Amino acid sequence: MARKKKRQYGTGCLLPRGRRWAIRWREQEIASDGSVKRILRYENLGSISRTEAARILAQRIVQAGTPTKAPVRMTFCELAESWLAQVLPMYKHSTQKNHRHILAKHLVPYFGETALVDLGRQHVQTYVAGLLRQGYAPKTIDHIHDVLSAVLRTAVKWGYLSDNPARQVELPALVTVRPKWALTEAQASLLLMELPPLARTMTGLALLTGLRRGEIFALRWEDLGPEDNYLNVDEAVYEGRFNTPKTAAGVRRIPLSPLAQALLREWRKRAKRTGPGDLVFATWSGKPISPNNVLRSAIFPACDRLKLPRATWLTFRRSYASWAHQKGVAGKTIAALMGHAKVDMTLNVYAQVLDGAEREAATRVGNGLFTIVHEGELADPVSH
């Protein structure tokens, strides 16, 4: 009996599986330490011909024999460590803190030991579905997915992945958990009268300029124009760290209304430090004040006494946008004053319909229609 010829090493193997075919072969992989290893691979090809299965196997073997094309077997945890050290420092401090927290609490515990080459869209989709089942809000899931996508996007740039598996993943629809609201001008006036001088000046400036909270607490006396009629905004502070504003459009000059000028002049008389480089709002030692401390110590108690919902710095910014929109200020102008690059961001996120605005709009339309009918330009529909 003739002895069966031994299959040459490295030629792979065709495996019949009933009416289906599978293939097995070895390919080179570069580990994270740079060493090259031969890894056994298996792929189920389904119901195809033996000829087609052999062709696919030959193609896989050719690809496996090219070390430069072999994938780097790096785990998500290893990628995350490199990303934290080399990419995250490029972000602003507030973003760094948020992304670091999401990586440590959510992403590394789940994906940590998964090899990047084994991470696919279905894997990411399963993770998103699991977050939803655990009761996470759609907005939180969206934030987590954004960070995951950013890390994997870097893996694509560095050549560890050919495609970002976090892209085209279905996410739950975003819903507003807490309704957005804005102060009416009457409510804002009552609140200002209820606040002590420091909080009154900060709140008044926020309501009259639409500044972000980090921009307010980073203001210096030298940022005021020569006649106190405008503000130069080119700095923001977060947890004591100064940086540029949130966006490039955030560097801007804001005209000050007479009331805003009066508030600042009155505060300058009370302030302990008024040198050009001194902060407008500072602690006794000249350091930045914590925005949350002002809310807890002054603004929240005042809102409670007035039986108003507790207003935040975002509420004041939203109120400014809503008032400006209601008074007919062009959306592009509002966006420029608030430091937004896109008009739709200003109108869709910040501008709210204020109490009475809808009724006022209906009254205006009704009055206009009544005028036309009264002048006889429309026929009486009943007569027809």
Q: Between β-strands 13-17 and 20-31, what pairing exists: parallel, antiparallel or unpaired?
A: antiparallel
Distances (CA, A) of 117 to 72, 73, 111, 163: 8, 7, 12, 10
Strand partners, 255: 230
pLDDT at 4: 55
**Six-digit token string for 6:** 């031994």
pLDDT at 7: 54
Domains of the chain listed by start with CATH number: 13-73 (no CATH), 76-157 (1.10.150), 185-350 (1.10.443.10)
Give me the phi and psi of 114, to 5 degrees please: -75, 130
pLDDT at 364: 47
Contact 214, 238 (CB under 8 A): yes
Q: How far is residue 379's CA from residue 339's CA, in Å, rounded to a whole number?
A: 50
Polymer length of the chain: 384
pLDDT at 63: 72
pLDDT at 39: 78
Contact 37, 29 (CB under 8 A): yes
**Six-digit token string for 299:** 């603004």
Nearest Cα to Cα of residue 80 among 141, 161, 152: 152
pLDDT in tens, the chain (384 residues): 555 555 555 568 888 888 888 888 887 766 555 566 777 888 888 888 888 888 888 888 877 665 434 445 789 999 999 999 999 998 888 889 999 999 999 999 999 999 998 899 999 999 999 999 999 999 999 999 999 999 999 999 988 888 999 998 999 997 765 667 899 999 999 999 999 999 999 999 999 999 999 999 999 999 998 877 889 999 999 888 888 887 788 899 999 999 999 999 999 999 999 999 999 999 999 999 999 999 999 999 999 999 999 999 999 999 998 898 888 888 888 888 888 776 665 555 555 545 555 445 444 444 544 444 444 443 443 443
Q: With 0.75 as the threshold, say if the pTM is over it.
A: no
**Six-digit token string for 257:** 């209304």
**Six-digit token string for 315:** 């509420």
Angle, CA of 106, 110 and 115, to the nearest 5°: 130
Where are the extended beta strands (E) located within the chain?
Answer: 13-17, 20-31, 36-46, 72-73, 230-233, 236-238, 241-243, 252-255
